[in-house]
Amino acid sequence: MGSDPETDPDHSPVIEVRNLRLQYGHKLIQKDLNFLVRKGDVFVIMGGSGCGKSTLLKHMIGLYSPVQGQILYHGEDYFSASDADQLSMRTRWGVTYQSGALFSAMTLAENIALPMQQYTGWSKAEISDRVAYKLALVGLAGYEDYYPSEISGGMNKRAGLARALALDPGILFFDEPSAGLDPLSAGRLDELILELSQSSGATVVIVTHELASIFAIGNNGVFLDAQSRTQLDTGAPSYMLRHSKQPVVREFLSRGEVSS
């Protein structure tokens, strides 16, 4: 068991979500979201299908602006920051998407080198060294010249992770990282995410409805509800399972997607 993020002084807030309201046009998705993500957390965004997990993540990575509320990174509100400050925040994040993680016309090395070429002044040789290192980190040493279509789904996910790690991010965001993988590969990907977050000290924010993943890697999280369109609970998933005051949360975590 990890330390309690609520009381451990070393786990300072990295992300603070305040009174957040998410809409597409006039369609309300979630409201009154309030939670903290602390340094080193593996923070899980949970809830039944369609409750707005991916929508929340897309706001957290700045793809959409909230209609109300704030998302603070190390105390600075992303959406009221200048373009330059927003860019500097984004370069400290690594993001992997549910689908289309890699560019299919590029080799794995070219995919991983891309953010390095875009955002750093590193030389060709340095980039090539760092690409090899990132591939080795995810168990793909020697796969530089392969195209995404030439490797398995699980290897593609790991290569996507290597690209997300390209700039040594402080925060890693994942949207359903194990979607489409068999349970064994999904479990290995979970282990890898946990291992990498622990070895690098990165904070992880992850969207998943996989109960196995929620309990295997999450030490903190928020539970979103599709009916009331707000969060029902926040904290450690293992604690929520037994002690959440919301029966829907305990039921979801103990049996599966009852609310979907």
Ligand X SMILES: Nc1ncnc2c1ncn2[C@@H]1O[C@H](COP(=O)(O)OP(=O)(O)OP(=O)(O)O)[C@@H](O)[C@H]1O
Give the footprint of ligand X on this chain (CB under 6 A). Answer: 24, 27, 29, 47, 49-55, 209
DSSP string, 15-63: EEEEEEEEEETTEEEEEEEEEEEETT-EEEEE-STTSSHHHHHHHHTTS
The CA-to-CA distance between both ends of the chain, in Å, stands at 30
10 and 33 Cβ atoms separated by less than 8 Å: no
Shortest distance (Å) from residue 251 CB to ligand X: 17
CB closer to ligand X, 49 vs 80: 49
CB neighbourhood size of 63 (10 A):
10
The CA distance from 44 to 47, in Å, is 10
Helix axes 153-164, 183-200, angle to 10 degrees: 20
Q: State the DSSP code for 37.
A: E
Q: Are strands 68-73 and 76-77 parallel, antiparallel or unpaired?
A: antiparallel
Nearer to ligand X, 49 or 65 (CB): 49
Q: Residue 27 or residue 245: which is nearer to ligand X going by CB?
A: 27
Task: Give least dist CB 80 to ligand X, A.
Answer: 23
CB of 69 to ligand X, least distance (A): 16
Is 26:18 a contact under the CB 8 Å cutoff? no
Q: Measured from the CB of residue 131, what is the shortest distance to ligand X in angstroms?
A: 31
Least distance to ligand X, CB of residue 223, Å: 11
- Joined together, the tokens standing for residue 126 give 């340095």
Q: How many degrees, rounded to 5, is the angle at CA 106 between CA 100 and CA 112?
A: 75
**Residue placing its CB nearer to ligand X in the complex, 28 or 216:** 28
Closest CB to ligand X among residues 50, 180:
50
Task: Please report how close the Cβ of residue 77 comes to ligand X at its closest, in angstroms.
Answer: 22
**Measured between alpha carbons, how far is 254 from 196 in angstroms, rounded to an integer?**
28
Rank residues 49 and 118 by Cβ distance to ligand X and give the closer one.
49
